[in-house]
Structure 1
């Protein structure tokens, strides 16, 4: 499968400021595969060390901080060949190996000629612990589930990707492209972006195997909950996780602890919730009181929404059957459009450095689904999965913050168009949001000067 993160890995390889790399990502998102594929494509050879399969490797890091001795021992015990600059060294499953993580400091300082990439499940948890960590001595990279664009390539639809890549202005998409893209997006809602699930569909067209793959991933995540150091937190993590479809099925998708358990209080569950956030199994989106910078200064920490790492996992966790694929727009509108919101949030987090927020007011009720920061501007975004695309809340938002709103954006099943300052983006073009906002701003500027 083609993964665009390979471009970022190549930039890391060629950088004069390269440091040992830590690749973060949830279990079964493809970390090991991508590093091995990267090594195969761009290095003479790859030396792979798995600290879960070979726990004895950890000893080499416990007895010395001399990186040359460490590498010599690893080569002797494994038979792997390591040549500076020409070998990609992969340390896998390092989440339970603090000495290995700490050793990256010495590789950075004393042996920069070695190209080292580390990976592991629940690394976000390990890195959140207040242990001896090589601050400033490593590069970080995040691998997320496959995007819709990557899904299209895996599905053999390169022609559709080439067309989308060729768009450089805001004008309607012809039906010959619009209709198949709309149908493929339904498929993506079913499979999600986890590589195993995508593989079961794109290669075998096996819905049952795809369902089993998603169930297996969810079961693996739920087994990981038991790895919280405090055993009392395990059932709380599980209850929060299983409540997410119910949370998103509400009209107001704000996270409520009472949906997890009647009478539950924030202070009882906040550690469990933070575990899920650190593991990056969920995205936490805070309510913002105003579209101003720095965006974090306007967070309402008591109000937030939770979304899953992947839309396919959300569908499976919600036990929504793949047969909804054939029922018109049902897949987009099912349980208050939660799949659509999750999909949009999923793609926004890969395009913009700052985590999106949302905005709402209670009386009268208005809500803008997401606020994104693009450079030093904040843009309100509404997600419409129903046929009714009237944007009451976007209109109200512009009235309240006229000086801060350069452009409003709406995701829907309608075609690509710019209506004054309202940009409508077809849902299947969510991966191109950053570019499309750029085109729309340029188009607006041109029309004003004319």
Structure 2
């Protein structure tokens, strides 16, 4: 499988300002695989240390802060080769090893020639704890589930990927590409972007095995909930997690605590929700009160939507059978188009540095699904999962904020088209959003 994060890892290796790397990502998203593959391709040696399988390794970091002594002990116990420059040192499953995390400060200061990459599940939880942490002395990368483009490459559809990457004008996609891309996207909605799930389909075309993989991942996540330090919070995390399909099935997808449990209040459940956010199992999208910069300054902290980290997991958690989606575009429209929205959010997060928001007006009711920041411009986005692409909310948004708008964006099943300041992007081109915005702005000017 080709993962686009490999390019960022190569940049990290070549950087003259290289710091120890911490790779974050949810369980089974491919952290260990990508680091080992990176080491295999670009280094003479890979020295791999797993602190879950070999807990005794932790002692080397507890007894000394001398990095040369730590490395010497690791080499002796594991019989692995470690040299500066030519070895990638991988510290895996470090989420429960605060001394290992803290040691990155000393590797950065005292042994900068060594190439060190760390990974672990629930690292977001570990790093959110108030402890001695090497601020400014490590480099972070986040690995997300596989994108649709990565899915195409894994499925052997290199011609389709090459085509969408080569788009240089805003014009309708020929049927010869439009139809197969639409069909491939339906399959991606079923598999999602978790690498093992994708593998079960692209290599073996085994739907049952793919479904079993997703079920296993969901069960592993639910076991992780018990790792919250407050045992009383565990059932609350589980209740929020299981309520997400119900939250997204509503016309108004604003997160409501009463959907979690009758009578539930924010102050009782907000810590549990924050645990899921810190673990990166869910994405929390705030409502923006106005499309102005800095976008964070206009967040309504009491209004937000919750999406899963992966739409394949959302489909599985919602118990939507993969065999029930052979009927036209039902896959895109199922439970109020929630899968389509989740898909679009996943792609936006990989392309834009600032987390998207959404915009809403109550009386009369209008809602723009997402608001993205691209450099110093904000763009409203609406997601349409069927052939009805009337964008009343985008029209209202333009009326209210005419000076803040360079372009309105709509994702739908329709073809690629620029109509004045309204850019319609087919769902299967979501990975090219940044590129298409750039082309549309040039056409407008």
TM over 0.5, yes or no?
yes
Aligned mates of 1:111, 1:10 — CA distance in 2: 20
Aligned mates of 1:136, 1:2 — CA distance in 2: 30
Aligned residue number for residue 186 of structure 2: 186
Aligned residue number for residue 241 of structure 1: 241
Aligned residue number for residue 72 of structure 2: 72
What secondary structure sits across from 1:259 in the alignment?
helix
1:77-96 equivalences in 2 (<5 Å): 77-96=77-96
Aligned mates of 1:354, 1:231 — CA distance in 2: 33
- Unpaired segments ≥5 residues, structure 2: none
Aligned residue number for residue 320 of structure 1: 320
Q: 1:62-84 CA distances to partner (integer Å, 9 max, x unpaired)?
A: 00000000000000000000010
Q: 1:376-396 CA distances to partner (integer Å, 9 max, x unpaired)?
A: 000000000021000000000
1:121-270 equivalences in 2 (<5 Å): 121-270=121-270
- Unpaired segments ≥5 residues, structure 1: 446-450
**Is the 1:186–1:331 contact (alpha carbons within 8 Å) kept by the matching residues of 2?**
yes
Aligned mates of 2:386, 2:199 — CA distance in 1: 30
Aligned mates of 2:155, 2:80 — CA distance in 1: 36
Aligned residue number for residue 421 of structure 1: 421
What secondary structure sits across from 1:12 in the alignment?
helix
**Is the 1:187–1:325 contact (alpha carbons within 8 Å) kept by the matching residues of 2?**
no
Aligned mates of 2:87, 2:127 — CA distance in 1: 26
Aligned residue number for residue 13 of structure 2: 13
1:356 paired with 2:356, answer yes
What secondary structure sits across from 1:285 in the alignment?
strand
After TM superposition, give the deviation of residue 324 of structure 1 in Å: 2.7
Aligned residue number for residue 101 of structure 2: 101
Aligned residue number for residue 281 of structure 1: 281
After TM superposition, give the deviation of residue 276 of structure 1 in Å: 0.1
1:27 paired with 2:27, answer yes
Aligned mates of 1:215, 1:198 — CA distance in 2: 14
Aligned mates of 1:235, 1:374 — CA distance in 2: 39
Q: 1:16-70 CA distances to partner (integer Å, 9 max, x unpaired)?
A: 0000000000000000000000000000010000000000000000000000000
1:120 paired with 2:120, answer yes
Aligned residue number for residue 387 of structure 2: 387
**Is the 1:283–1:307 contact (alpha carbons within 8 Å) kept by the matching residues of 2?**
yes
Aligned mates of 1:429, 1:176 — CA distance in 2: 15
TM-score normalised by length of structure 2: 1.00
Q: 1:420-448 CA distances to partner (integer Å, 9 max, x unpaired)?
A: 00000000000000010000000100xxx
TM-score normalised by length of structure 1: 0.99
What secondary structure sits across from 2:325 in the alignment?
helix
Aligned residue number for residue 410 of structure 1: 410
